């Protein structure tokens, strides 16, 4: 989709890949489906386990239901109610934990021991990354003249898949990762040349509170040109612009990729900019607009 009003703000031609309209409301169904349907019959029978703040959780629950296998989902206790309800509606069995990455990983490990299921990590998995990359492959099929592609970054699955697809299909394209300032481990890691953790992220973009892993960091270092950060107020303002001007429901994590273009922070004036709207799962009873 396009929007003349947002083009004017950005000083560029902006194209939006609307993964907020995808099944389960985010791009995550791509990777989850790829991972679940790649399992052998014997492995699939025992089910799958993951930990996720919401979108990957819902996607894995639906993919598992489509294959007729169980899914156990570890979710942090501060996950939005809308995302908890979505996981339950798709048949996922939820286990709540403290809202830290170590707590999520420990709870998932316990479930794996109890069930014998297969871990489908939200981003530390080649099958997940490959599935997420199909969004950009489709994007460049439809808009092959893009000069930039922007995607949010958390654990790095989407941005890794985006970068692999983009640089493979159009080597000269500029790939930009977008991140909240209050969960900025990717920006710090890229600047330092080594993984930097973010143990207590505090951002409205609840889908971007995870940290990179060795797999995704290696891909980002090789194929991503820049990671830019935006403030909480800038996230909310970008979200408002998309809601008001495009009549699209996007969640704060999606707005993180919109803000740098609208704020003209990536040097894209006069260029063709592609933005992946990663998801639209937001609690409409608790909107951040003032």
Over 90: is that where the pLDDT of 199 sits? no
- Residue 203, classed as helix, strand or coil, is coil
- Report if residue 282 sits inside a domain: no
Q: Which two tokens stand for residue 231?
A: 């403030």
**pLDDT value at residue 224:** 98
Domain check: are 168 and 143 in the same one? Answer: yes
Domain check: are 9 and 150 in the same one? Answer: yes
**pLDDT value at residue 200:** 81
Beta bridge partners of 7: none
Please list the active-site residues: 28, 53
Domain check: are 37 and 135 in the same one? Answer: no
Q: Are strands 174-180 and 226-230 parallel, antiparallel or unpaired?
A: parallel
**pLDDT value at residue 259:** 98
Domain check: are 60 and 197 in the same one? Answer: no
Q: How many structural domains comprise the chain?
A: 2
**pLDDT value at residue 162:** 98
Domain check: are 76 and 148 in the same one? Answer: no
Q: Evaluate whether 161 touches 219 at the Cβ level (below 8 Å).
A: no
pLDDT single digits (tens) 212-247: 999 999 999 999 999 999 999 999 999 999 999 999
Domain check: are 176 and 85 in the same one? Answer: no
pLDDT single digits (tens) 31-43: 999 999 999 999 9
Domain check: are 151 and 260 in the same one? Answer: yes
**pLDDT value at residue 196:** 94
Of 286, 258, 268, which Cα lies nearest the Cα of 82? 286
pLDDT band at residue 132 using 50, 70 and 90 as cut-offs: very high
**Alpha helices, DSSP H, located in 98-251:** 101-115, 126-142, 157-169, 185-192, 214-223, 232-241
- Report if residue 239 sits inside a domain: yes
Instruction: Please give the angle made by the CA atoms of 105, 279 and 228, to the nearest 5 degrees.
Output: 80
**pLDDT value at residue 193:** 97
The answer to whether the Cα torsion of 38, 73, 135, 197 is positive or negative is: negative
**pLDDT value at residue 72:** 97
Cα(99)–Cα(249) distance, rounded to whole angstroms?
A: 25
Q: Report which secondary-structure segment, H or E, holds 256.
A: helix 252-262
**pLDDT value at residue 140:** 98
Specify burial of residue 202 (Cβ count, 10 A radius: 0-12, 13-18, 19+). exposed
Beta bridge partners of 17: 276
Task: Tally DSSP H helices, then E strands, for the chain.
Answer: 12, 9
For helices 157-169 and 126-142, what crossing angle results, to 10°? 50
**pLDDT value at residue 182:** 96
**pLDDT value at residue 198:** 83
What is the percentage of the chain residues whose pLDDT exceeds 70?
A: 100
Over 90: is that where the pLDDT of 57 sits? yes
pLDDT band at residue 25 using 50, 70 and 90 as cut-offs: very high
pLDDT band at residue 79 using 50, 70 and 90 as cut-offs: confident
DSSP structure string for 30-95? HHHHHHHHTS-HHHHHT-EEEE-SSHHHHHHHHHHHHHT--EEEEEETT--HHHHHHHHHTT-EEE
Over 90: is that where the pLDDT of 81 sits? no
Q: Which two tokens stand for residue 106?
A: 């420990």
Cα(185)–Cα(196) distance, rounded to whole angstroms?
A: 6
Neighbours of 145 (CB within 10 A): 12
| Structural domain span for residue 251 | 4-25+128-277
Mean pLDDT (the chain) is 95
Beta bridge partners of 273: 14, 148
Of 267, 208, 211, which Cα lies nearest the Cα of 232? 208
Over 90: is that where the pLDDT of 136 sits? yes
Read off the pLDDT of each residue in 131-136 and give the average, rounded to a whole number: 98
């Amino acid at each position: 989709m396009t929007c003349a009003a947002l083009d004017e703000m950005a000083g560029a031609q902006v194209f939006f890949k609307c993964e907020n309209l995808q099944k389960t409301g985010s791009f995550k169904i791509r990777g989850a489906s790829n991972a679940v349907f790649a399992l052998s019959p014997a492995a699939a029978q025992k089910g799958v386990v993951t930990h996720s703040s919401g979108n990957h959780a819902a996607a894995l629950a639906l993919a598992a239901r489509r294959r007729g296998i169980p899914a156990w989902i570890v979710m942090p206790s501060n996950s939005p109610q809308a995302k908890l309800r979505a996981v339950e509606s798709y048949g996922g069995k939820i286990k709540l934990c403290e809202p830290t990455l170590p707590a999520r990983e420990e709870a998932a490990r316990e479930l794996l021991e109890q069930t014998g299921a297969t871990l489908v990590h939200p981003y530390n998995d080649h099958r997940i990354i490959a599935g997420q990359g199909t969004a950009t492959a489709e994007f460049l099929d439809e808009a092959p003249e893009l000069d930039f592609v922007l995607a949010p970054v958390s654990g790095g699955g989407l941005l890794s898949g985006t970068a692999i697809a983009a640089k493979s299909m159009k080597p000269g394209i500029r790939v930009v990762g977008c991140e909240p300032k209050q969960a900025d481990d990717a920006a710090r890691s890229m600047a330092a040349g080594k993984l930097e953790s973010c143990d207590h992220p505090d951002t409205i973009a609840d889908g971007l509170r995870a940290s990179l892993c060795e797999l995704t960091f290696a891909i980002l270092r090789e194929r991503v040109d820049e990671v830019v950060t935006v403030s909480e107020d800038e996230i909310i303002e970008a979200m408002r612009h998309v809601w008001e001007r495009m009549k699209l429901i996007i969640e704060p994590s999606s707005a993180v990729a919109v803000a740098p273009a609208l704020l003209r922070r990536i040097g894209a004036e006069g260029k063709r900019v592609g933005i992946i709207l990663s998801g639209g799962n937001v609690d409409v009873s608790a909107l951040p607009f003032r």
